[in-house]
Amino acid sequence: MRPRVAWHVKIIRVTHSGTVVFYISGHGFGHASRQVEIINALAARRPTGRVVIRTSAPQWLFDRSLTQPFTFVAGDTDTGVAQLDSLNVDVPASITRAWAFHRELDTRAAEEAKLLAEHDARLVVGDVPPLACAAALRAGIPSVVVSNFTWDWIYAHYARWLADTPQLLPVIRSAYQSADTALRLPMAGGFEPFANIVDVPLVARHARRPAAETRDELGLPRDRPLALLSFGRYGLGAVDWGAVARDPDLAVMVTRDAVDIGPVSSALGGNVFQLDVPSLEARGIRYEDLVAAADVVLTKPGYGIIAECAANHTALIYTSRGDFAEYAVLVDAMPRLVRCAHLDQDDLFAGRWTPTVRQVLDQPAVARPRCDGAEVVADRLLQSF
């Protein structure tokens, strides 16, 4: 067991303008969302600093939320896991893709080192591509990993599929070993390759407006519990929306960029509200404001949505997400962070949500954990130059 390092917040203001390059996994949106918070916290401390974002995640995620100019360099930085749908992993494809990418890690790192030199990079931050560490080593600059899991730990969970790729885990671990520091977020798994580990609080997006104000502006009811359906980039289209819309005891928010359920009108019950995220943001309403406005979020377990529910004091109902190593760690940690309950997938797709909503809302409140991880991480990054 590695020693835990005490959390601390020390405000540091500097004016140097060295470039920080963020390598961000394109697997889901959670990696990008939490790095946006860290980049914004870093910008507040070094307003003249330059930021480069290297990722396969869509640029609009950063355009919407970053508070400073940045350079966006699109490209694959890792392969994550292949999803059959929002809830199930294609394990053989995940391992095949991971090895096809990482078997050429040295060559990729050499090319990335040129990119780092072109941008006069002084620090590399990875969440959590091994390529970030390997490229920084090639370029002769420090690297810091910020995550709650590592890809070698994820892939090691699929041991029966690793026989044909025995070098996958050693290659990934060797790259991670070259990192100067790993900033380990809560709900963590892995991290054995790192020599220097610092534990940090949750990085989470906080609502910027009162929940009641968001409900009133969007015409959302206050006379019944309000749920937000949150299944990320893969969406969830197989729900019996007719059953959901006919339930008079629950109101539901869904976002059009996540799932298209067709037009919902009063003829279906009028209690399902489709929301267009870009249009909302033009009105100053962000996704984290929806999380805060909801009484409960229905989701699959993921670091980002759990952290946002914790930060905004919103209950969480989760369903199983297939064979993914992180699932057990997240489920174990959740009761200490949020009010939560499990919903089996039969009930999820049948739209039988209200009994579980009542169950979770009857639970006693959970003490809100520290959610200032973005500020803590930003201060640690400044010490890494």
- Establish if 62 belongs to a structural domain: yes
In a domain, 281, yes or no: yes
pTM: 0.92
Rounded to an integer, what distance in angstroms lies between the CA atom of residue 312 and that of residue 258? Answer: 21
| Residues 179 and 228 both lie in one domain | no
Are residues 217 and 198 located together in one domain of the fold? no
Give the helix ranges, DSSP H, for the chain: 30-45, 60-63, 91-102, 105-118, 130-139, 151-156, 168-177, 211-218, 241-245, 277-282, 287-293, 303-312, 326-333, 345-350, 354-361, 373-382
**pLDDT tier, 235 (very low <50, low <70, confident <90, very high otherwise):** low
Whether residue 127 lies inside any domain: the answer is: yes
% of the chain beyond a pLDDT of 90: 80
Residues 136 and 221 in one domain: no
Q: What is the pLDDT of residue 7?
A: 41
Segment 357-383, tens digit of pLDDT: 999 999 999 999 999 999 999 999 999
Whether 269 is covered by a domain: the verdict is yes
* Three-state SS at 177: helix
Angle at 250 between CA 249 and CA 254, to 5 degrees: 160
Same domain, 145 and 264: no
- Report DSSP letters for 325-380, one per residue: THHHHHHHHGGGTS-EEE--HHHHHHT--HHHHHHHHTSPPPPPPP-BHHHHHHHH
Same domain, 154 and 57: yes
One domain, residues 251 and 270: yes
In a domain, 8, yes or no: no
- Domain presence at residue 63: yes
Distance CA 256, CA 28 (A): 17
Here the tokens at position 214 are 């968001």
pLDDT at 102: 98
Q: What is the pLDDT of residues 40-80, one digit of tens each?
A: 999 999 999 999 999 999 999 999 999 999 999 999 999 99
Residues 189-210: tens digit of each pLDDT:
999 999 999 999 999 999 999 9
Q: Which of 2-11, 116-125, 177-186, 188-197 has the lowest mean pLDDT?
A: 2-11
- Is pLDDT of 329 > 60? yes
Which two three-digit tokens encode residue 41? 């916290």
7 part of a folded domain: no
How much is the average pLDDT of 35-44?
Answer: 98
Give one DSSP letter per residue of 289-300, joined into a string. HHHHH-SEEEE-
Confidence class of residue 10 from pLDDT cuts 50, 70 and 90? very low
Q: Would you give the end-to-end CA distance of the chain in angstroms?
A: 28
Residue 363: the pLDDT is 98
Distance CA 225, CA 223 (A): 7
The answer on 168 and 309 residing in a single domain is: no
Whether residue 187 sits in one domain with residue 227? no
Res. 238 pLDDT band, cuts 50 70 90: confident
User: What's residue 236's pLDDT?
Assistant: 60
The CATH number that applies at residue 155 is: 3.40.50.2000
Note whether 230 and 105 are same-domain residues.
no
HSE-CB at 252 with a 13 A cutoff on CA atoms is 31
What is the extent of the structural domain holding 318?
211-361
6 in any annotated domain:
no
Say yes or no: 226 and 296 in one domain.
Answer: yes
Domain count along the chain? 2
164 and 224 assigned to the same domain: no
Instruction: State whether 54 and 124 are in the same domain.
Output: yes
Is residue 51 within 8 Å of residue 65, measured between CB atoms?
no
Helix, coil or strand: residue 17: coil
